[in-house]
Amino acid sequence: MSSAVSPAASEVLRQAARRRTFAVISHPDAGKSTITEALALHARAIGEAGAVHGKAGRRGVVSDWMAMERQRGISITSAALQFAYRDVVVNLLDTPGHADFSEDTYRVLTAVDCAVMLLDAAKGLEPQTLKLFQVCRQRRIPVITFINKWDRPGREPLALLDEIEKGTGLRATPVTWPVGIAGEFHALVDRRTDGTTAFRRAPGGATTATEEHLTATQAAARYGEDWRRAVEELELLALTGADHDQQQFLAATTTPVMFGAAVANIGVRQLLDILVDQAPAPQARPDTDGGQREIAAPFSGFVFKIQANMDPAHRDQIAFVRVCSGHFTRGMTLTHATTGRPFATKYAQQMFGQSRETIDDAYPGDVIGLVNATALGIGDTLYEEQAVRFPPLPAFAPEHFAVLRARDASKFKRFRRGVEQLDAEGVVQVLRSDRRGDQSPVLAAVGPMQFEVATQRLQTEFAVPTALEPLPYEIARRTDRDGEERLRTAAGVEVLTRARDGALLALFPNPWRMRAIANQHPDVTLEPLLADS
Ligand code: G4P
DSSP per position, 47-77: GG------STTTSS----S-HHHHHHT----
> Of 100 and 213, which is predicted with more confidence?
213
Residues 6+ apart with CB under 8 A from 32: 24, 26, 95, 97, 118
DSSP 524: S
pLDDT of residue 312 exceeding 80: no
Given ligand 1 and candidates 118, 199, 263, which is best to mutate, with the most ligand atoms within 8 Å of its CB?
A: 263
Is 14 among the domain residues? no
Q: What is the mean pLDDT of residues 452-475?
A: 94
Give one DSSP letter per residue of 330-344, joined into a string: TT-EEEETTT--EEE
Give me the pLDDT at residue 357, please: 59
> Looking at the domain assignment, is residue 4 inside a domain?
no
Ligand 1: atom nearest CA of 118 is 3
* In a shared domain, residues 225 and 303: no
The answer to whether position 10 is within a domain reads no
User: Which residues does 21 contact at the CB level (< 8 Å), separation at least 6?
Assistant: 90, 91, 93, 111, 112, 113, 114, 282, 322, 365, 366, 367
Tell me which of 59-68, 290-299, 424-433, 517-526 is least confident.
59-68
Nearest-CA residue for ligand 1 atom 26 is 149
253 shares its domain with 326: no
CA distance 280 to 278: 6
> Can you tell me the mean pLDDT for 500-514?
95
Q: Terminal CA-to-CA distance of the chain, rounded, Å? A: 50
Strands 19-26 and 88-93: parallel
Tell me: do 290 and 274 sit in the same domain.
Answer: no
Q: Are residues 366 and 410 in the same domain?
A: no
Give the dihedral of Cα atoms 334, 340, 342, 347; nearest 10 deg.
-60
Is residue 13 a part of any domain in this protein? no
Mutate to test the pocket of ligand 1, among 29, 119, 151 (most ligand atoms within 8 A of CB): 29
Backbone Cα Rg of the chain: 24
Same domain, 315 and 295: yes
Ligand 1 atom nearest residue 37's Cα: 7
pLDDT at 341 over 50: yes
Residues 249 and 299 in one domain: no
Between vectors from CA 506 to CA 501 and to CA 509, what angle results, nearest 5°? 135
Which is more confident, 35 or 78? 35
Of 207-216, 262-271, 345-354, least confident by mean pLDDT is 345-354
The answer to whether the beta carbons of residues 76 and 106 sit under 8 Å apart is: no
Distance 29 CA to ligand 1 centre (A): 6
| Cβ contact 272:39 at 8 Å | yes
Distance 204 CA to ligand 1 centre (A): 10
- With a Cβ cut-off of 6 Å, ligand 1 is lined by 26, 28-34, 55, 58, 97, 148-149, 151-152, 261-263
Q: Is the pLDDT of residue 351 over 60?
A: no
Domain shared by 178 and 136, yes or no:
yes
245, 278, 311 - which closes a domain: 278
Element (H, E) at 444: strand 442-445
pLDDT digits (tens, 9 = 90+) for 41-86: 777 654 333 333 333 333 333 333 344 444 433 333 447 888 889 9
Identify whether residues 187 and 289 lie together within a single domain. no
| Domain of residue 485, CATH code | 3.30.70.3280
Ligand 1, atom 36, residue with closest C-alpha: 58
- The confidence band for 208, taking pLDDT boundaries of 50, 70 and 90, is low
Residues 6+ apart with CB under 8 A from 58: none
- State whether 319 and 220 are in the same domain: no
Q: Do residues 375 and 260 share a domain?
A: no
**290 burial via Cβ count (<10 Å: 0-12, 13-18, 19+):** exposed
Q: In total, how many domains does the chain have?
A: 3
**pLDDT score at 344:** 86
What's the pLDDT score for residue 51? 35
Q: Is residue 169 part of a domain?
A: yes
Per-residue model confidence as pLDDT tens digits over 147-203: 999 999 999 999 999 999 999 999 999 999 999 988 888 999 999 999 999 987 655
Residue 186 C-alpha to ligand 1 middle, in angstroms? 20
The DSSP output letter for 439 is: T
What pLDDT does 73 receive?
A: 35
Evaluate whether residue 389 is within a structural domain. no
Question: Which range of residues forms the domain containing residue 508?
Answer: 400-532
Same domain, 476 and 528: yes
Domain assignment present for residue 378? The answer is yes
Query: Which ligand 1 atom is the nearest neighbour of the CA of 266?
Result: 23
The answer to which of 44-48, 116-120, 435-439, 510-514 has the lowest mean pLDDT is: 44-48
Choosing from 259, 278, 297, the residue where a domain stops is 278
The pLDDT score that the predictor gives to residue 309 is: 64
If one compares 40 and 285, the residue with the highest pLDDT of the two is: 285
Q: How many CB atoms lie within 10 A of CB 135?
A: 22
Which residue is closest in CA terms to ligand 1's atom 31?
Answer: 29
The reply to whether 394 falls in a domain is: no
Cα(243) to ligand 1 centroid in Å equals: 30
Q: Ligand 1, atom 22: nearest CA belongs to which residue?
A: 149
Q: If you measure from the C-alpha of residue 262 to the centroid of ligand 1, how many angstroms do you get, rounded to a whole number?
A: 8
Q: What is the CATH number of the domain that holds 56?
A: 3.40.50.300
Model pLDDT, residue 474: 96
Q: Distance from the CA of 181 to the center of ligand 1, in angstroms?
A: 19
**Three-state SS sequence of 245-258:** CHHHHHCCCEEEEE
Any idea which of 301-315, 364-378, 433-447 has the lowest mean pLDDT? 301-315
Residues 6+ positions from 198 with CB-CB distance below 8 Å = 186, 187, 211, 212, 213, 214, 219, 222
Q: What does pLDDT average to over the chain?
A: 87
Domain final residue pick, 329, 350, 383: 383
Same domain as 47, residue 185: yes
Cβ neighbour number for residue 131 with a 10 Å cutoff? 20
